[in-house]
Chain A
Amino acid sequence: MSKKYYVVHASYNDDEVLMDAVKAVRAEDHDIEEVYTPFPVHGLDKAMGLKPTRIAIASFLFGVTGLLTAMWLTKYTMIQDWPQDFGGKPNGTYGQNVLSFVTILFELTVFFAAHLMVITFYLRSRLWPWKKAENPYPSTTDDTFVMELEVEKDLDNVKALLQKTGATEINVTEKIDTEDYE
């Protein structure tokens, strides 16, 4: 059996009005599917109940990976595979040599932490060349703030609520969920 539902797009023209609207809609126990904004609105993620992002933790782990890689690289090439004597300076152990590798360890730590974090961000947020943009209206990258809701019943109540929160425009599309519900 397929199920009918509505996708509601409510547009706002101000970030503060949007914030109050998000809070009001959440207070009425409606789930907000998505919010599209032209710029980062401070506190919107908390108001929507989004979990904090863990990308900084990921970056830390990538940095540790970079540090270990750099340590292995300098140790293998300079101490194990082809040890050399530079100006009679001690070169027998990694501990005696590591001071002159500090810059390399640092640079590779930063290299790994930065690049792998950005790649993770692009993949998680589905950003890459030739990716098609999915914002409901072109103006959401300019000056329109759009709240997206999925409603199964009470459509009129939801519309009235959105109207009350100061939406400048409300668009409803009917969708059929093709998944089987048995």
Chain B
Amino acid sequence: MSHYESPYREPLILGKKSYHDISVDIARPIETRANRNWWIAFTIALLAFLWGIGAITYTIGTGIGTWGLNKNIGWAWDITNFVWWVGIGHAGTLISAVLLLFRQEWRMAINRSAEAMTIFAVFQAGLFPLIHMGRIWDGYFTLPIPNQFGSLWVNFNSPLLWDVFAISTYLSVSLVFWWTGLLPDFAMIRDRAVRPFQKKIYSLLSFGWTGRAKDWQRFEEVSLVLAGLATPLVLSVHTIVSMDFATSINPGWHSTIFPPYFVAGAIFSGFAMVQTLLGIMRKVTHLENYITRKHIENMNMVILLTGGIVATAYITEFFIGWYTGSPYENYTYMSVGAATGPYWWAFWSLILFNIVIPQFLWFKKVRTSFIWSFLISIAINIGMWFERFDIIAIVLSKGHLPSAWGRFEPTFVDIGIFIGTLGFFFVLFLLYARTFPVIAQAEVKTILKKTGQYHKNLRDKSHE
């Protein structure tokens, strides 16, 4: 039997399913009407989004002065939110690319939604540097194109420009990776569709996918190569984001451990966001048989590992800063000065949400519990936001010149834009959950006989 799998491995697809059942289950959210809860969630998200548009319009119309920035703290909420959103995006690529290379079959139930989350999160991230330019219409200055200033080129030595290239490559490659995987699933929806309008839309989206043997052969090769390309790409993105800080000369920022530490933190926060979203989605779309306790536990184990890397990095930063004996190091985000200074609450939020709370995942009872996983994932989302806020605001608030020390207080515009991006993100995700096949059904069908509960039981009985 080519589909044999050890009985000790837990099944990834529960219940008695046939190939057709999988199609029906995954098409259901698209073919049925949205319920009241969806509309309530969508309305709230839409209102938040509109509020954000208002705040952005006000910023662009009046200027960056509407934000709480000052002479010392030239970027705070915007860059915090940028790094936070980019970090969240990382889990999608990790799940679809790295876990593909490692042949982890549990990825198939969650990769589609995680990649959607990646793309939507990178949209939010990209907004912040664009708005912070002040003159958003001059955004094309970041591209190396001949221009009216006697061909003054962009500066390829600058980590900020590396970021432009990294984020655009990341967004566009993630998008085609996602879309290529979607083609067979859109085709399935298209061929099931009864209403002519729906059929038309899904024909358009599926690019006329037919599922010929040659197409599948190419499809699998393309997926593998894209995974191979996306793996170093995703590591490069947060490495470069960390270089925005690490290549500067501020104490607390000028740190060689930033790249690996940021990448681990990104995966940590990204998995937490996947956990938050799927915790709700599996219930709402009735996909409990596909996104099982095992999936939740596996994600929690990745969270525990990357959380451990992040905690180690914090301790290293704290110790090395103290060990230098330099007085400047007492004002970095990982120092006694930060823990007892005016931003003590931000410091201790970071410690509590990012180091203490995730440790509960060591207990199997906690990491296999849906509700606890959900609550811990929200704590990590908050903690990782504070990590970026601490790195930026605490470090900048106390620079080399004590007379220039200051504080950052967000204005309602800062807060409004952040809320707006949360709204925009959830608007996109809620629309996605009703119109896209949220599980890569073609891939899941390939593992049905191997890891489906019914097929496994059947085999185990015949072996007895």
Whether both chains belong to one complex is answered with yes
Q: Which B125-158 residues sit within 8 Å CB-CB of chain A? A: 144, 151-157
| Cross-chain contact B144 with A73 (CB below 8 angstroms) | yes
B207: A residues at CB distance < 8 A: 122, 127-129, 131
A180 within 8 A of B: no
* A133-B190 CB under 8 A given contacts A40-B219, A121-B222, A143-B18: yes
Query: B444 — nearest CB in chain A belongs to which residue?
Result: A39
Distance of A38 Cα from B222 Cα, bound (Å): 18
- B187 and A133 form a contact (CB under 8 A): yes
Q: How far is the CA of A108 from the CA of B230 in the complex (A)?
A: 13
Asked if A124 and B446 make an inter-chain contact with CB atoms under 8 angstroms apart, the answer reads no
How many residues of chain B get a CB closer than 8 Å to chain A's CBs?
A: 64
B43 → chain A, closest Cβ, in Å?
32
Tell me if B463 is interfacial: C-beta within 8 Å of chain A.
no
Cβ-closest chain B residue relative to A97: B157
The answer for the CA separation of A37 and B203 in the assembled complex, in Å, is 18
Chain A 133-156, CB-CB to B under 8 Å as 1, else 0, gives: 111001111110000000000000
User: Would B192 and A142 count as touching, CB distance under 8 A?
Assistant: yes
Does B250 sit at the interface, judged by CB under 8 A?
no
A36 CB contacts on chain B under 8 angstroms: 210-213
Residues from chain B with Cβ under 8 Å of A121 in the complex = 180, 218-219, 222
Given A40-B442, A103-B165: A82 in contact with B212 (beta carbons within 8 A)? no
Instruction: Say yes or no for B38: interface residue by CB 8 A criterion.
Output: no
B residues less than 8 Å from A131 (CB atoms): 207-208
A40-B219, A106-B236, A125-B214 known; A133+B209 contact, CB < 8 A? yes
CB distance from B260 to the nearest CB of A (A): 16
Indicate if the CB atoms of B233 and A39 lie closer than 8 Å.
no
* Residues of A with C-beta under 8 A to B218: 53, 55, 121, 124-125
| Interfacial residues of chain A within 31-59, with CB under 8 A of chain B in the complex | 34-42, 44-45, 48, 50, 52-53, 55-56, 59
Query: Quick one: which of A56, A73, A128, A135 contacts B210, CB cutoff 8 A?
Result: A135
The 8 sampled A-B contact pairs (Cβ below 8 Å) are A39-B216, A40-B442, A45-B214, A114-B226, A118-B222, A127-B209, A129-B204, A134-B208
Using a CB–CB distance below 8 Å, which chain A residues touch chain B? Answer: 16, 34-42, 44-45, 48, 50, 52-53, 55-56, 59, 73-74, 77-78, 81-82, 84, 86, 97, 100-101, 103-104, 106-108, 110-111, 113-115, 117-118, 121-122, 124-135, 138-143
Q: Which residues of chain B have a CB within 8 Å of any CB of chain A?
A: 2, 18-20, 23, 144, 151-157, 161-162, 165-166, 169, 172-173, 176-177, 180, 183-184, 187-188, 190-192, 203-222, 224-226, 229-230, 232-233, 236, 240, 243, 442-443, 445-446
